[in-house]
Each structure stands twice: as structure tokens, then as C-alpha cells.
Amino acid sequence: MVISMEKLSHLDENGAAVMVDVTDKRVTSREAVASGRILMSEKAFNAVINGNVPKGDVLSAARIAGIMAAKRTSDIIPLCHPLPFTKCSVEFTADKSTCSISAKCTAKVEGKTGIEMEALTGVSAALLTIYDMCKAADRSMVITDVRLEYKSGGKSGVFRRDTDV
């Protein structure tokens, strides 16, 4: 599949990377939800759920890490605009049958550009924090399925993945 350069908003007419000019865009309410999952051993899973990880409360630390990372997305993803969040949250769901923990990051802004990258960064940092805090118990953990589930606002309107958000 060939993508024309006109459709890539982060490239100028010469193909150079540029920050998108949002000066003339309208301010709208925008929201994005991203999700992901970490698979781990039963030992590591039980330690997280029972609060027995020596490094502390894994999910509380991961929640804070996810929110902090989302707010700092423009510092780590080239060409992202810094955004004035109106909301950011990270939630977890544990699944004993698969020894996995799913994370969901929701981010909202009143702005001229989308907040998808922030939600994706938030969920990624939350899952990485779980990995970091549990790696002594299980170095074979797998982070998987990081993806955008939903986005609203702006000219392109609503995107909703076919699965439940």
C-alpha cells in the first residue's frame, strides 16, 4: 500500500518532518481511550493481586506512572503538541484465568489536536511499570495488544474499535 505524502500531516512538501500547524483548527472536546495487557506467571500474578510484591503496590504505582507519562507525551514522542488535559485516568482489570492484567487509559482535552498518543503512551507506561515492579518474579512477562479503542472530537469525528471499550 502506497500512502501519498499529502495524507501524512507530519511531512512537508519536501518530505521533511514538521510539527502540524493547528493554528486555524477549532477547539473541540476530544477524548481517547487506549488499552493493553500484560501476561505473567501465576506466581507474579498472585503477588500483584495479593499485594505481596516487594517493590510495593504495583497497580497504584502503575496508575500514577501511566498518568504522568500521558501528561509528558510531547516530551518523548517527536512532533506531538503539549496538551492541557482536562482528565486522565488509568484503570486495571485482572484476569485470573489467563494470569493477565489489562490496562485502560482515558484522556480528555479541550483542544485543537487529538489526544490519542497521550492515551497510548499512558497505557504503555502503566504496563511497563507493572513489568518493572514484577520482573524479579517473572522476566518472561509479555506486554501485548496495546491499541487505540476509541477517539472522539475534531474533524475526523468518532473512531470506535469493534470490541467493547
Alpha carbon distance 127, 1 (integer Å): 32
What is the sign of the dihedral through the CA atoms of 33, 38, 42 and 48? negative
Catalytic: which of 21, 75, 132, 138?
A: 132
Cα 165 from Cα 156, distance rounded (Å): 19
Q: Which helix (H) or strand (E) holds 159?
A: strand 159-160
Q: Do 86 and 28 meet the contact criterion of CB atoms below 8 Å apart?
A: no
95 is catalytic: no
DSSP string covering 9-74 = TTB-TTS-B-----TTSPPEEEEEEEEEEEE--HHHHHHHHHT--TT--HHHHHHHHHHHHHHTHH
Residues annotated as part of the active site: 132
